[in-house]
Chains A and B, each alone.
Chain A
Amino acid sequence: MCLGIPGQIVAITDSARMMAMAEVSGVRREVNVACIAQGPAEGLLGKWALIHVGFAMALIDEEEAAKTLEALRGLGEAQEALEAMAAGDAALEGQR
């Protein structure tokens, strides 16, 4: 929950609400980009960010993203984050 996970911004889904699609380890997840946007959200396309509980919190470069992901995998935290995202999707459908 606290370590976050790197993701790449691949689409803007709602620029007024600062929502974007991020690709995290091959999984797509809608995230809020208000904390990293400097101007219109479209400027973030292709950028990498550290994503904490669905919010992009810091811009990082691609090399830092790869290194962070490797460190998270070592701690088992990358898998944990991906499982939490899947659990979040299931919760939306009312599956308990």
Chain B
Amino acid sequence: MKYADEFRDPKAARAVLERIAAVTDEIGATAENPVRIMEVCGGHTHAIFRYGLDKLTPAGLDFIHGPGCPVCVLPMARVDECVELAERPEVIFTTFGDAMRVPGSRKSLLQAKADGADIRMVYSPLDALEIARRNPAREVVFFGLGFETTTPSTALSIQAAAAEGLGNFTVFCNHITVPPPIKVLLDDPYMRLDGFVGPGHVSMVIGIHPYDFIAQDYGKPIVVAGFEPLDLLQSVLMVLEQIRDGRAEVENQYARVVPEHGNPVSIAAIAEVYEPRPSFEWRGLGEIDASGLRIRAEYAAYDAEAKFGVGYGAESRNVPEPEGCACGAVMTGRIKPVACPQFGRGCTPEMPLGALMVSSEGACAAYYQYGGARAVDVVD
């Protein structure tokens, strides 16, 4: 257990790890027939690998890496639409840095920038608003990307633009929501999941009740978790104890940040500016009903899709994934990253083929960065 020395409180970590091992035994889970727990959030996936939690926990416990990395689930067609918008001469395209290297079918945003498009990495949609104020003759488009954690920021920015009558600011909305893909995975007959570690910062916005269906309709436990390694271990233990006791409940390990009913100002802003799309495409999962948001008609002046005629309003936009890329199978937990034929060969963090290799929250990038001998053995 030498890795536990890296914990801020190694003694507490060891105590939780011992209880995890004991409860895994009590459940009767083994390496051949493990208990399968999905961490939904990409930030958790990153932390699990960074701290080697998958190696510190018993072989009878298998972490399945969920679809909770917004960059990783972004389909190629959306990247192509970003490039199309960015290449318009009047447009200043603003985006979080995370999205720059996601491959499109023609090019990534990074390549489009090298080719001369005015693409600017920003920290916040507030930066994009300021760029719009300073460049009244240009059209400033902000790439709205992310789950419920970042959705309030673009909703409030659109409201701010409307309040000051800013006519040259739009959002290309690709916001997605966490509960629908969980339902898809639970409905998948090939998927066996015994419980979930729920996302912390998404839940800070929406609260814990949107997960009630997981416990009530599917009989699976879910524990909303913080991001410190000890938070994650405690949450895993809480899931295992529910499984052992035959309980299925929504529990909140991260109550110091996550209120039961979420953040009311954020929820109101999201509801005012956005509405669910009939369906939205996810890389690896396909179209999922009511899983994406679009800007309401009242705010159409701030909607890049309406203003520039791209996106779901345009004609058929299906773009096949690159050949040999197994992001879809990894995303749905069917295979581990190292089982993809391109892993570490045609697909590396420097030259990603699939989106899971791009972000530090993607399962493939996490395996590549922290997998050490395990990943290298497979590649070589």
Report which A residues bind B (CB closer than 8 A).
1-4, 17, 29-32, 34-35, 37, 50, 52-55, 57-58, 60, 64, 67-68, 70-72, 74-77, 80-81, 83-85, 87-89, 91-92, 96
**6 closest Cβ contacts across the A-B interface?**
A54-B124, A88-B123, A91-B120, A88-B127, A84-B123, A71-B228
Known: A53-B150, A96-B119. A1 touches B124 (CB 8 A): no
Known: A34-B156, A34-B265, A67-B228. A53 touches B123 (CB 8 A): yes
Q: How far is the CB of A52 from chain B (nearest CB, A)?
A: 6
Compute how far the CA of A31 lies from the CA of B150 in the bound complex, rounded to whole angstroms.
Answer: 14
- Are A87 and B97 closer than 8 Å at their CB atoms? yes
Please give, as numbers and ranges, the residues of chain A lying within 8 Å of B145 by CB-CB distance: 1
| Given A31-B126, A55-B124, A71-B227, 18 further pairs, Cβ under 8 A | A1-B96, A2-B70, A34-B156, A34-B269, A35-B156, A35-B266, A52-B201, A53-B123, A53-B153, A54-B123, A54-B153, A55-B153, A57-B149, A64-B257, A72-B227, A74-B50, A87-B123, A88-B122
- Are A91 and B131 closer than 8 Å at their CB atoms? yes
B360 at the A interface (CB under 8 A): yes
Among residues of A, the one whose C-beta sits closest to the C-beta of B49 is A75
Compute how far the CA of A91 lies from the CA of B127 in the bound complex, rounded to whole angstroms.
Answer: 8
From A1, A83, A96, give the contact of B113 (CB < 8 A): A96
Report which B residues bind A (CB closer than 8 A).
6, 8, 41-43, 46-47, 50-51, 70, 94, 96-98, 113, 118-127, 130-131, 134, 145-147, 149-150, 152-153, 156, 160, 201, 204-205, 227-229, 256-257, 263, 265-266, 269, 360-361
Compute how far the CA of A17 lies from the CA of B93 in the bound complex, rounded to whole angstroms.
Answer: 25
Known: A50-B257, A71-B228, A74-B50. A84 touches B8 (CB 8 A): no
- Are A96 and B120 closer than 8 Å at their CB atoms? yes
Compute how far the CA of A89 lies from the CA of B131 in the bound complex, rounded to whole angstroms.
Answer: 10
Please give, as numbers and ranges, the residues of chain A lying within 8 Å of B47 by CB-CB distance: 71, 75
Compute how far the CA of A74 lies from the CA of B126 in the bound complex, rounded to whole angstroms.
Answer: 28
- Are A84 and B96 closer than 8 Å at their CB atoms? yes
From A2, A35, A57, A70, give the contact of B361 (CB < 8 A): A2
- Are B257 and A91 closer than 8 Å at their CB atoms? no
Among residues of B, the one whose C-beta sits closest to the C-beta of A67 is B228
Known: A57-B205, A58-B257, A92-B130. A32 touches B147 (CB 8 A): no
Q: How far is the CB of B9 from chain A (nearest CB, A)?
A: 10
Q: How far is the CB of B212 from chain A (nearest CB, A)?
A: 22
Compute how far the CA of A71 lies from the CA of B127 in the bound complex, rounded to whole angstroms.
Answer: 27
Please give, as numbers and ranges, the residues of chain A lying within 8 Å of B121 by CB-CB distance: 84, 87-88, 91
Compute how far the CA of A30 lies from the CA of B130 in the bound complex, rounded to whole angstroms.
Answer: 12
From A2, A37, A74, A91, give the contact of B150 (CB < 8 A): A2
From B118, B146, B269, give the contact of A96 (CB < 8 A): B118
Please give, as numbers and ranges, the residues of chain A lying within 8 Å of B228 by CB-CB distance: 67-68, 71
- Are B41 and A88 closer than 8 Å at their CB atoms? no
Please give, as numbers and ranges, the residues of chain A lying within 8 Å of B122 by CB-CB distance: 84, 87-88, 91
Please give, as numbers and ranges, the residues of chain A lying within 8 Å of B126 by CB-CB distance: 30-32, 54-55
- Are A1 and B98 closer than 8 Å at their CB atoms? yes
Among residues of A, the one whose C-beta sits closest to the C-beta of B154 is A53
Among residues of B, the one whose C-beta sits closest to the C-beta of A74 is B50
Please give, as numbers and ranges, the residues of chain A lying within 8 Å of B229 by CB-CB distance: 71, 74
Q: How far is the CB of B220 from chain A (nearest CB, A)?
A: 23
- Are B266 and A57 closer than 8 Å at their CB atoms? yes
Please give, as numbers and ranges, the residues of chain A lying within 8 Å of B152 by CB-CB distance: 35, 55, 57
- Are A60 and B153 closer than 8 Å at their CB atoms? no
Please give, as numbers and ranges, the residues of chain B lying within 8 Å of A52 by CB-CB distance: 149-150, 153, 201
Pick from B127, B156, B204 the residue with the most CB of A within 10 Å: B127
Q: How far is the CB of B93 from chain A (nearest CB, A)?
A: 11
Q: How far is the CB of A95 from chain B (nearest CB, A)?
A: 8
Among residues of B, the one whose C-beta sits closest to the C-beta of A63 is B256
Known: A1-B150, A32-B156, A71-B228. A57 touches B263 (CB 8 A): yes
Q: How far is the CB of B2 from chain A (nearest CB, A)?
A: 16
- Are A91 and B94 closer than 8 Å at their CB atoms? yes
- Are A54 and B227 closer than 8 Å at their CB atoms? no
- Are B96 and A92 closer than 8 Å at their CB atoms? no
- Are B147 and A2 closer than 8 Å at their CB atoms? yes
